[in-house]
Amino acid sequence: MSLVETQYDEFLSKIKQSISNTDVDLLIKIMYLERKLTDVPPKVELHLEYGLEIDPSRKQDMIRAKYGFPTQLSTHGLTAVGQMNVGLIEEISKDPDIEHISGKATPASY
**What residue spans define the domains of the chain?**
3-106
Residues 6+ away with beta carbon under 8 Å from 99: 21, 49, 50, 51
Alpha helices in the chain (DSSP H): 3-18, 24-36, 56-67, 86-93
- Please check the confidence at residue 6 and state whether its pLDDT lies above 80: yes
pTM: 0.90
Higher-confidence position of 74 and 109? 74
Return the CATH architecture of domain 3-106: 2-Layer Sandwich (3.30)
Q: What is the CA radius of gyration of the chain?
A: 15
